[in-house]
Amino acid sequence: MSAEARITSRSSELYHRALDLMPGGVNSPVRAMRAIGRDPIFISSGEGSRLFDVDGNDYIDWVSSWGPLIAGHAHPAVVDAVASAATDGTTFGAPTKGEVTLAAEVASRIPSVEMVRMTSSGTEATMSAIRLARAATGREQVLKFAGSYHGHVDGLLAEAGSGLATQGIPASPGVPEAVASATVVVPWNDRDAAREATERFELAAILAEPVPANMGVVPPEEGFLELLRERADHTGALLIFDEVITGFRVSSGGAQQRYGVTPDLTILGKVIGGGLPAAAYGGAAVLMEQVAPVGPVYQAGTLAGNPLAVAAGLATLELLDARAYQRLEAVTEALAAGLRRAFSEAGVPLQVQSVPGLVTPFFTTAPVRDYAGATGCDLDAYGAWCRGLLELGVYPPASQFEAWFPSLAHSDEDIERTAEAARAALERIR
Ligand SMILES: *Cc1c(COP(=O)(O)O)cnc(C)c1O
């Protein structure tokens, strides 16, 4: 493995043009790689577990487009399905057979889902599920957990004020205080705070990533999801699981199947579109039939259920059989074990947290159980380590607060090379 800096001249040139044309040169902030203190890398193609940049460098990709690419880049079955769908026309603004097949597939896998409505992004799906929960309960406040991400919905860009259970304050300029204050924010895995918040506020919904992955991977502690279910039942709030990341990943039926806790509404995204823009929200028919045109809750989308996205999603789900999940779990365990070994060989006792399909190496010595734990990590060291990994041909998420996304395309050799690079990059920054 060469340790010299890679050539980045074409990436740099594009980046400097992009800076004048797009904020930060990107269309989504994390891509700018500012959190790890370097310029972004412009990508030209991907194949399996491999990513190629515009300068001809290649990388073992652990980002997998932030989750959708559970089968790897340009999987032939997915590419064929999309190409064939495109030949028949890319959008009709009218129902198609593929949507029915995909809805049936989702309902058969996800325990809480009888009916779904598709959208084009996870943000839209979350926003719509909350609207439905408010309509169904006649209440306005929504509880979320600090460090969880549910898309850039105004009301969910709220952070905790002071105190155990607090009304949110805007986490971004442009979010009205009145909107943020309809969100109640409590620490993840904090049973007392969750109990207090559900007693103190009239909640329309308790919204959770059942395995938070947007502060890094922080699994629910024993009984925590059960507590949320119980609190929702007791108070009349709806329990909403945002399974945009965990759906079809931590198991075929998502986190709700893995942990045996069934929410009222489920939000899906990422894998459901197989790498094209698609997401969905779903639940029991009595709830979902409150959505237009059957019910009064308005929600719509010009490209919702887009034929290419549906084809890519269906082709991806077809690859996800029992054997695929065994393999994904094995890849996850091997990656987590490889990173742990690398850290211990380098003499740095870091935390590696994982569930099947998701891994986060946290630059801290104590287990991370909430957002405060995640933000306490050594972010500068994580950044320096990531810069080293990139030089060594390994492409990690460019933020401590993200998951690594193993896929079915990752080989045992990819994991070996990653573990070796992890050790070498760590030794360089020590
Ligand atoms: C990515 C993500 C979203 C938002 O989905 P977009 O398609 O990016 O709008 C929502 N919730 C979770 C848990 C996510 O990881």
Q: Does position 3 have pLDDT exceeding 60, yes or no?
A: no
- In this structure, are 364 and 313 located in the same domain? no
- In this structure, are 46 and 143 located in the same domain? no
Q: How far apart are CA 359 and CA 397, in angstroms?
A: 11
pLDDT tens digits along 51-86: 999 999 999 999 999 999 999 999 999 999 999 999
- In this structure, are 225 and 148 located in the same domain? yes
The total domain count for the chain is 2
Burial of residue 83 (CB within 10 Å: 0-12, 13-18, 19+) is exposed
**In this predicted structure, what is the pLDDT of residue 4?**
58
> Which domain, by its residues, includes 172?
76-319
Q: Give the residue from 290, 319, 348 where a domain finishes.
A: 319
Q: How far apart are CA 367 and CA 430, in angstroms?
A: 21
- In this structure, are 249 and 356 located in the same domain? no
Does a structural domain hold residue 379?
Answer: yes
**In this predicted structure, what is the pLDDT of residue 6?**
84
* Cα of 342 from ligand 1 centre, angstroms: 31
Confidence of residue 160 (pLDDT cuts 50, 70, 90): confident
State which amino acid sits at residue 122. G
**In this predicted structure, what is the pLDDT of residue 168?**
87
* Cα of 267 from ligand 1 centre, angstroms: 9
**In this predicted structure, what is the pLDDT of residue 7?**
84
Q: Give the residue from 282, 300, 319 where a domain finishes.
A: 319
- In this structure, are 314 and 326 located in the same domain? no
**In this predicted structure, what is the pLDDT of residue 167?**
84
- Provide the CATH number for the domain around residue 10: 3.90.1150.10
- In this structure, are 311 and 346 located in the same domain? no
Across residues 415-421, what is the average pLDDT? Answer: 98
Cis peptide before 95 (omega within 30 of 0): no
Does a structural domain hold residue 313?
Answer: yes
- In this structure, are 218 and 136 located in the same domain? yes
Q: Give the residue from 264, 286, 319 where a domain finishes.
A: 319
- Provide the CATH number for the domain around residue 242: 3.40.640.10
Tokens of 138: 């006649």
Cβ–ligand 1 contact at 121 (below 6 Å): yes
Pick the atom of ligand 1 nearest to 270's CA. 7
Rounded to a whole number of angstroms, the CA Rg of the chain reads: 21
pLDDT tens digits along 174-210: 999 999 999 999 999 999 999 999 999 999 999 999 9
Cβ–ligand 1 contact at 215 (below 6 Å): no
Q: Does position 1 have pLDDT exceeding 60, yes or no?
A: no
Across residues 262-279, what is the average pLDDT? Answer: 98
Q: Does position 251 have pLDDT exceeding 80, yes or no?
A: yes
Report residue 247 CA to chain centroid gap: 9
Residue with the larger pLDDT of the pair 200 and 8: 200
Average pLDDT taken over every residue of the chain: 96
Q: Does position 241 have pLDDT exceeding 90, yes or no?
A: yes
Q: How far apart are CA 243 and CA 272, in angstroms?
A: 11
- In this structure, are 399 and 250 located in the same domain? no
Across residues 17-28, what is the average pLDDT? Answer: 97
**In this predicted structure, what is the pLDDT of residue 190?**
97
Does a structural domain hold residue 69?
Answer: no
Burial 31-51 (b: 16+ CB within 10 A, else e): bbbbbbebbbbbbeebebbbb
Instruction: Indicate the top mutation candidate among 118, 150, 211, 267 to test ligand 1's pocket, ranked by most ligand atoms within 8 A of CB.
Output: 150
**In this predicted structure, what is the pLDDT of residue 166?**
73
pLDDT tens digits along 361-405: 999 999 999 999 999 999 999 999 999 999 999 999 999 999 999
**By mean pLDDT, which of 115-119, 283-287, 317-321, 348-352 is the weakest?**
348-352
Does a structural domain hold residue 47?
Answer: yes
Instruction: Indicate the top mutation candidate among 270, 271, 402, 405 to test ligand 1's pocket, ranked by most ligand atoms within 8 A of CB.
Output: 270
Pick the atom of ligand 1 nearest to 124's CA. 9
**In this predicted structure, what is the pLDDT of residue 164?**
59
Annotated catalytic residues are: 149, 242, 270
**In this predicted structure, what is the pLDDT of residue 145?**
97
Q: How far apart are CA 135 and CA 238, in angstroms?
A: 11
**In this predicted structure, what is the pLDDT of residue 159?**
85
Pick the atom of ligand 1 nearest to 148's CA. 13
Does a structural domain hold residue 68?
Answer: no
